[in-house]
Chains A and B, each alone.
Chain A
Amino acid sequence: AQSVSQHNHHVILSEAASLELGCNYSYGGTVNLFWYVQYPGQHLQLLLKYFSGDPLVKGIKGFEAEFIKSKFSFNLRKPSVQWSDTAEYFCAAYYGNNRLAFGKGNQVVVIP
């Protein structure tokens, strides 16, 4: 079955630390990949997306993600986090079957 795996569900780090969240998707041919973020009390919003082209994707708020086809991965990174990055982060993959498969999410807490 098509699925998305996210590890380290809870991440706690200090401001200015670097963040990397892992995302692995199951094989399914051509796939569109997304990272969504849900800030406390707010709705899910798109952080970045990958459809094709340059495998290093830049998103909003200094986030980036790298698509590595050989590893079926789409890891999210930010070199220096801020307190305002405290949120839940979801990786998602679209395999062309009307369904967006989501991972379980990473709860990230940034300590000032």
Chain B
Amino acid sequence: ETGVTQTPRHLVMGMTNKKSLKCEQHLGHNAMYWYKQSAKKPLELMFVYSLEERVENNSVPSRFSPECPNSSHLFLHLHTLQPEDSALYLCASSQGLAGREQFFGPGTRLTVL
């Protein structure tokens, strides 16, 4: 695998479910990001991790919980989501923080019923 991978690519869940999104980067980068991409809205930054420490939490509801166990892996744990949370969730990585080029994964298309 090369670049940034995300699993699953598609996820349908009910509002009471608990699920996790996984991101893995194979680029040797030290910063990772979660974004939310909704129709007709700019990409919204959710979380930033640098050297496995969270450096940014962009006022994201607590039903989204990130985890970064090492510099190559990033998770987004989901619980008691709302239908308006349905979106494409993108993971990205960079060497250094956001001022540098970010490399994006293909995203997870999440549908909350």
Residue among B50, B56, B101, B106 with the highest chain A CB neighbour number at 10 A: B101
- Interface-lining segment among B36-44, B63-71, B76-84: B36-44
**Choice from A9, A46, A102 contacting B101 with Cβ under 8 Å:** A46
Expressed in whole angstroms, the minimum distance between the Cβ of A105 and any Cβ of chain B is 8
Give the secondary structure class of B's interface: loop
Q: Pull 22 A–B residue pairs with CB atoms less than 8 Å apart, ordered by A.
A: A9-B40, A32-B99, A43-B90, A43-B107, A44-B90, A45-B103, A45-B104, A46-B101, A46-B102, A51-B99, A92-B43, A94-B99, A96-B99, A98-B48, A98-B50, A98-B55, A98-B56, A98-B98, A100-B98, A101-B42, A104-B41, A105-B42
List 14 other contacts, CB 8 Å, given A98-B48, A104-B40.
Answer: A9-B40, A34-B101, A43-B104, A43-B107, A44-B104, A46-B101, A46-B103, A92-B43, A99-B45, A99-B48, A99-B58, A99-B98, A102-B43, A105-B42
